[in-house]
């Protein structure tokens, strides 16, 4: 099992290009199952989760062609199997997103209950209730969700009592081929959902209310092929900005978007960062200063994203003053504080709130990643710690960050990957 070895103390300085969004690319790849013609998806990141989703499509008999720029052509005309097996699904929660497209396009799907990060309860009841409202028959047997809609799905009015990104994506995809009109109330508004919706529209779907919590989908008989470029990864963007801020450095990020990261940029400015946005570029400059502590509370978009709280916890650990980080989305997502405290951080947990008293410096130590974003927080901590930090179980980080050690090395970090 690979590890990252980081010798801390370097002030990050330089520029890198931001990769395509994992959280957008995965549902968009699932959506290709809806089209009658080949679909080309570009700007996909080279990540384990993307590779797993492509393997899942291949195991169903779907034709997948990849060029050297990670532009993937998906042709489902050869599909022969409608099962998402446990061996592939167990490592990636997003595999549940093939359920809606398979059910809508072929009237059947057998999908194993998904895996992913151990960050708390993420029930899929809302997905299943939505499919049942659209006329599907759902049976759970032997760890598999067996869904059938031999007569096709019917449009329905669906109120989701909890804001769910995956549920919104799954039901929106299914509704594109349902008979009649589907209305999704209390829908999630994340930019990745907007990206998926825009891709579906490029395939011929009829969707109104994109980017709002009230989405109306008018079903069509078929979707056609298209070429679509995945949006930049806002969480990767935020992670590198936060790493630079924690180190007191400067970073220029190319090919990204500031308009979908406003809550994060606001908190970085509160921490003392000078931020300049120029088109698709974002520059952050701390001018050598230590960051100031900030307090934040996670909530669904457009509020502060849960996928960025671990990174801000690491920055707060070396900031001036005391800050609080309150997690409202997942109950186990403050688990990284125990590893940060092993490095000399002063963090106490009060319910779902971490109280972080900044220290001047952390100390390098062996630490273990527990999930994707906690991994990123430990890397940031290692970058600003004195001495050597070894981050174990980095298969988590490889699920969401493309070439992280290479990009950080470009910014001046002393970081290398070693086999376990």
Residue 6: which of 286, 386, 336, 407 has the closest Cα?
386
What residues form DSSP beta bridges with 391?
A: 4, 367
Strand, coil or helix: 343: coil
The CA-based angle 355-358-360, given to 5 degrees, is 160
What residues form DSSP beta bridges with 229?
A: 42
Strand, coil or helix: 356: strand
The CA-based angle 40-41-43, given to 5 degrees, is 140
Which strands sit side by side in the sheet containing 137-141, from one edge to the other?
A: 83-84, 108-112, 144-148, 137-141
User: From the candidates 117, 199, 226, 403, which is the catalytic residue?
Assistant: 117
| Rounded distance between C-alpha atoms, residue 33 and residue 62, angstroms | 9
Identify the pLDDT of residue 369.
Answer: 87
117 catalytic per annotation: yes
- The number of CA neighbours under 13 Å toward the Cβ of 262 is 7
Identify the pLDDT of residue 92.
Answer: 80
Identify the pLDDT of residue 331.
Answer: 67
Walk along the chain (420 residues) in steps of 10 and give the mean pLDDT of each run: 94 98 96 98 94 94 91 95 87 87 97 58 80 96 91 97 94 98 98 98 98 98 98 98 98 98 98 98 98 96 95 97 92 81 96 95 94 91 98 90 96 94
- Inter-residue contact 132 to 138 (CB < 8 Å): yes
| Rounded distance between C-alpha atoms, residue 90 and residue 73, angstroms | 25
Identify the pLDDT of residue 327.
Answer: 92
């Amino acid at each position: 099992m690979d590890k990252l070895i980081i010798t801390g103390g370097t002030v990050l300085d330089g520029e890198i290009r931001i990769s395509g969004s994992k959280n957008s690319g995965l549902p968009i790849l699932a959506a290709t199952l809806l089209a009658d013609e080949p679909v080309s998806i570009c700007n996909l990141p080279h990540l384990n989760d993307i590779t797993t989703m492509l393997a899942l499509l291949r195991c169903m008999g779907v034709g997948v062609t990849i060029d050297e720029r990670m532009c993937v052509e998906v042709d489902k005309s050869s599909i022969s199997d409608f099962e998402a097996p446990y061996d592939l699904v167990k490592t990636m929660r997003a595999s549940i997103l093939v359920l809606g497209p398979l059910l809508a396009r072929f009237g059947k799907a057998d999908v194993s209950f998904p895996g992913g990060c151990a960050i708390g309860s993420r029930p899929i009841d809302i997905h299943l209730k939505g499919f049942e409202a659209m006329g599907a028959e759902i049976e759970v047997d032997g760890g598999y969700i067996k869904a059938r809609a031999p007569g096709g799905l019917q449009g329905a009015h669906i109120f989701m009592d909890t804001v769910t990104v995956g549920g919104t994506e799954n039901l929106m995809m299914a509704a594109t081929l349902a008979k009649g009109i589907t209305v999704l109330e209390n829908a999630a508004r994340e930019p990745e959902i907007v990206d998926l919706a825009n891709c579906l529209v490029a395939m011929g779907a009829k969707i109104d209310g994109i980017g709002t919590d009230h989405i109306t989908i008018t079903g069509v008989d078929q979707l056609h092929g298209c070429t679509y470029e995945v949006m930049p990864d806002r969480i990767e963007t935020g992670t590198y900005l936060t790493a630079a801020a924690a180190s007191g450095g400067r970073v220029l990020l190319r090919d990204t978007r500031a308009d979908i990261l406003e809550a994060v940029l606001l908190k970085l400015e509160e921490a003392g960062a000078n931020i300049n946005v120029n088109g698709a570029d974002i520059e952050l400059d701390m001018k050598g200063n230590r960051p100031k502590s900030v307090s934040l509370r996670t909530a669904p978009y457009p509020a502060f994203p849960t996928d960025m709280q671990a990174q801000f916890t690491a920055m707060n650990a070396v900031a001036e003053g005391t800050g609080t980080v309150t997690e409202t989305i997942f109950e186990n997502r403050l688990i990284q504080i125990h590893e940060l405290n092993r490095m000399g951080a002063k963090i106490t947990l009060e319910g779902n709130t971490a109280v972080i008293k900044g220290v001047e410096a952390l100390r390098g130590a062996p630490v273990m990643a527990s999930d994707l974003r906690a991994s990123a927080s430990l890397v940031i901590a290692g970058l600003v710690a004195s001495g050597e930090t070894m981050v174990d179980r980095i298969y988590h980080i490889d699920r969401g960050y493309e070439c992280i050690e290479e990009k950080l090395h470009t910014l001046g970090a002393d970081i290398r990957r070693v086999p376990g």
